[in-house]
Amino acid sequence: MRPINIVILGGGFGGLAAANELRENLTQDTRITIIDKKDWFMMDLVKLWIINGTREFELSKRPLENVTKKGIEFVNEDVVKIDPVNRSVRTKYRQFHYDYLIIALGVELAPDQIPGLKENGFILYDINDVPKIRDTLRQMKSGKIVMAITGLPYKCPPAPFEAALLIRSVLEETGASDSVQIDFYSPTPITLPAGGPQVSEEIFQILKSKKIEFLGNHKTIAVEPNKIKFENDEASFDILISVPPHKVPSVVIESGFAENGKFVVVDKTCKTKHDRVYAIGDVNQIMVTDKIAVPKAGIFAEAEGVTVARNIISQIKNELENTVFDGKGGCFLETGKGTAGYLQVDMFATPDPLTQLKSTSTEHFAEKEKFEQERLKKWL
C-alpha cells in the first residue's frame, strides 16, 4: 500500500503551520512535502527591523531545508502547473502526485501595474529595496518622503503605517526629523478599513502625533521622477516608498483556481472547488461581509493552515471534520523606539468585525519579538 501524499505549495506562515500540524499528528507513512521556489523563510516583519537598522537579512532568514529534520520533505523548485483532475503538481524538473493539496503560494508583488513605480522609488515589501531604504534614510538631511499604498488588497495591513512610524524614529535618531516632511497616501478614505472607523482614527492620531500626514482617497495611477500622480491630484517627493499592487501567482491563475485573476475564493474550511484541494493564506479570499474580506496577514494564514491540517488529519483517520477558521487573531503596530501597540481582531464577530487597538508599550514590542522566535523554533 503506497503512502498518503500531502503536498504543500509554499513554505510561508500557512504552509509551515500546516506541515508541522500534520507531521505532529500523522504517522511517518504519510508523506508530507513542501515545495517552494525560495530556500529560506523570514517573516515580513523583519523587513521593518532592517529599515531601522536593528536586523540584517542574512542573520534573520532560516533555511527551509530545516523541516527535513522533522520528517517533512522539502523541494526547492518553482511550481509551473497544478492539475486537480489528475491530482498532480509539476515543477520545472518533475511531477508530484498528491492525495491532498494545500495551496499556500501567497501573493506576488506587481509594481509594473503602476507605470514608473519601481523606476522612481523604493518598494517597501521588496527585500532587495529594504536595505536601500535604510541607507537612504541614514543619509537624508532634509526633504519630503512620500509613502503610498498603490493597490488593494495588500498583505499585512498595519505594516505601511509601522514603516512610516519607524522611518520617523530613524530620522529622529539622525537629527534630520525636523527637516523632513512625511506624507502618507492611500486609496482608502481611512487608514485601516478592515479595522473599522475607531481603530482607523486611533492610527490616524498616532501618525499625526509623529507629524505624518495621512491623505486618503488617493488612487495612484503613475509615477514620474520626483512626482506621483493620482486620479485627481499629484504630489512631489524626494523619496518615494510604496506598497505596490499585489497579484495572484500566475500558476494559480493558469491552473484555473483564480477566476478572472482574482484571489481563490474559499469558505471558513479553506476548501476550493476541487476535491481535497485547499487554499490558505494570502492567495485566498474569505469574505466576511459583502465588502470586507479577511485581511492578508501571517497570523490568519497560520490559523488557516492549522484548520486545514486538522481536517485532513480527520479524513485520514476517518473521524468527523469539524474544524473551521475562526477569524480570530491579532498583529502588532510597531511605533518606534522599542514600542508597539497590539491590534486584536475577531473578523467573524456579529454584526460587524470586532477590532481593538491596545495602547503602545514596550511589553507589546517584546511580545512581537517573542512571536517571531517562538514560530521559528516550532516550525524550523
- 14 lies in the same domain as 99: yes
Contact 317, 331 (CB under 8 A): no
pLDDT value at 4 more than 90: yes
How much is the pLDDT for 57?
A: 95
Contact 92, 78 (CB under 8 A): yes
Phi, psi at residue 305, to the nearest 5°? -60, -45
CATH code where residue 38 lies: 3.50.50.60
Contact 308, 280 (CB under 8 A): yes
**In a domain? residue 40:** yes
> How many Cα atoms sit within 13 Å of 144 on the Cβ side?
12
For the question of whether the overall pTM of this predicted structure is more than 0.75, the answer is yes
- 72 lies in the same domain as 141: no
How much is the pLDDT for 314?
A: 97
- 167 lies in the same domain as 198: yes
**In a domain? residue 340:** no
Mean pLDDT over the full length of the chain: 96
Mean pLDDT check: name the lowest of 16-25, 83-92, 200-209, 253-262.
253-262
- 54 lies in the same domain as 162: no
CA-closest candidate to residue 207, choices 165, 147, 175, 176: 165
pLDDT value at 110 more than 90: yes
- 20 lies in the same domain as 73: yes
- 284 lies in the same domain as 238: no
**In a domain? residue 368:** no
Residue 51: what residue type?
I
Domain stop point among 258, 285, 316: 316
How much is the pLDDT for 257?
A: 92
pLDDT per residue as tens digits for the range 299-355: 999 999 999 999 999 999 999 988 999 999 999 999 999 999 999 999 999 888 999
- 162 lies in the same domain as 214: yes
**In a domain? residue 335:** no
Task: Indicate the burial class of 2 (C-beta count within 10 angstroms; 0-12, 13-18, 19 or more).
Answer: exposed
Domain stop point among 225, 245, 265: 245
Domain stop point among 194, 215, 245: 245
CA 231/CA 69 separation, integer angstroms = 52
Length of the chain: 380
Number of domains in the chain: 2
- 23 lies in the same domain as 85: yes
**Structural domain containing residue 53:** 4-107+248-316
**In a domain? residue 354:** no
**Which residues 6+ apart lie within 8 Å of 123 measured at CB?**
109, 111, 117, 129, 242, 244
pLDDT value at 245 more than 80: yes
